[in-house]
Amino acid sequence: MIEIKLVVNDKPYTLEVEPSERLIDALRNRLGLLGTKEGCGEGECGACTVIMDGKTVNSCLVLAAQANGSVITSIEGVGNRRSPHRVQKAFVEVGAVQCGFCTPGMVLSAKNLLDKNSKPSNEEIGIAMSGNLCRCTGYDKILRAVKIAAEEGKE
């Protein structure tokens, strides 16, 4: 077992993890953060996206040990029913949510884009969301939701 220290959703944790344990396993099984979804286990679908030190990563491709010392945001760290993040609000209002399995990863990719670029172009939105697959094929509304969230953020 390996001891790691990391900050998840603003809370510090010290965990004992297996050498082969993936970050998604540590988040889901050790911390009970079940909003992070596993769709493919090989970095294709983006359902397991989390924000690690300001970058979106596929948590199925990151070993828990590699996350030692990092700061992580999972979907549980973004908004709530009282005060949803503007990305979450836009996703609901535009109808960008169908089966919902890709949604946590989509929200995190969109949030991370807007954290860094408050006025993204359509192309920049497309690139930022390109690592997240939606098999219900609701891409048009997803991209529109990100655009609306971006516009709401501009003041």
Is the separation of the CB atoms in 46 and 105 below 8 Å?
yes
Q: Which pairing describes strands 71-73 and 55-58: parallel, antiparallel, or unpaired?
A: unpaired
**Type of residue numbered 132:** N
Pick from 17, 24, 64, 102 the residue near another protein by CB under 8 A.
Answer: 102
> Cα–chain-centroid distance for residue 147?
17
Instruction: Establish if 40 lies at the interface with another protein (CB under 8 A).
Output: yes
**By CB under 8 A, which span of 51-59, 61-69, 95-103, 116-124 interacts with another protein?**
95-103
**By CB under 8 A, which span of 61-69, 91-99, 114-122, 147-155 interacts with another protein?**
91-99
User: What's the order of all strands across the beta sheet hosting 11-17?
Assistant: 11-17, 2-8, 71-73, 49-52, 55-58
Our CB check for another protein shows the closer of 32 and 123 to be 32
For another protein, the binding residues (CB under 8 A) are: 33-42, 45, 47, 74-76, 78-81, 84, 88, 91-93, 95, 97-104, 107, 133-136
